Structure 1
Amino acid sequence: MLDVSHFLESHPLTPTIDDIRAALDIETSNHIYNPDQHIAPQAYRHEYRAAAVLIPIYNCPESNELKVLLTQRSLNMRNHPGQIAFPGGKHDPEDASIQYTALRETLEEVGLSPDCFDLLGELGEYCSVSGFCIKPVVAEMTRMSELSLCEEEVEQAHWVPLHHLLDPRNFRYVEREIGNVKRGYFEILYGDLRIWGVTAGIIYGLYQAIENHSHR
């Protein structure tokens, strides 16, 4: 089991695109650690469904820094309204691959077509309390295109510096009672954004993949 306090005291990472590609080039079949599964295992007894998210990374020429695209889910969504997320959704039977799912959902939610991206690799799955095993697909955005948000699904989009997301000092680990069940999750604050739960957990998984590769 992950030592959460050790992670929160770990050093920040400032990888290049090549560093990320090299880290993801290694087999990443292991699931991303979700502390909630160890605290409330009864909430994770599901027949899991497959889903995918895209982690779009853009090398911003103005600031010469890598930024990550995050969305705020529409306040009218039935599930997780207003939460900060990566573009993504469930894997449909007609989808050719899990990578196709991530790219399709990104096009539908924010209007970025697949030809804007160069796929860098994948992380292990993150299993959620809502019954999905989510495959994060990491991609470099090689061509900037104007966003076109699907108003039914996306309230806003935000570009957040990758170095902020890969600094454990910006993480908090939270335990709280939800419906008389103790739950545990990571959260990251960036300005007015509160990035928590599944999204923060996937970012933690990206940190671990890059950090593990740096020690090889």
Structure 2
Amino acid sequence: MPATDDVPLTRRMFLLACDPERQRLAGREYLGLVLNAAALQELYDDGLLADDDGRPRTSGARGAAPRSALAAAVHRRIAEDPKPRPWRYWVKKAERAAVGTVRDELLGERLIRVQHRRVLLVLRFESVQLRQPRLRTAVLGGVRDALRPAQPASRVPHGDAAAAVFAHIGEMRPVMSRAERRAARPRIAELEPRLGPVPAALRRTVKDKKSDVGGAA
């Protein structure tokens, strides 16, 4: 099975969103938020962002560079914005573009194949096929292992813990069903504190988006 230690979190979350059987992305309603949060988490973990009273602040980690294209874009936006803004602002910012940024990066790395198709000659949808399905299987296996209560939360690899927490908050159906998410809540509560401020920002943003959809209905 491929090693996943060096796989950026943004890439992990996109791969987890891929439904291998249907060859498309599932749960897209929150995917952009999840990917932006993953980019923020990468920057926070690498010392390129610090928490300043509930707001991300760019930090001068010597020799460090963003690990992914989306993390680089998010870091640039924060650095160029003269106004300090809360973490959840950056989780929501350009969420639709975030999906395309990560998709294009994986296309360039030849990890996925994308095709555009039409249903009944009218509806157009994007087919996403995995070129290296074993990598997604390995990432999913890390999430499954992280959710097992037999392993102390402190010993779960950081990337696996983050992927599990973000998949849970983002309600990623290819990763866990509604019943599995409900059962995993105590374990997520154990894994989340080590990740810093980003998971709470993602949770708040997902909740706000649900409220907006409910209000519109």
| Structure 1 or 2: more helix by fraction | 2
| Structure 1 or 2: more strand by fraction | 1
Same-fold call, TM > 0.5? no
Normalised by the length of structure 2, the TM-score is: 0.29
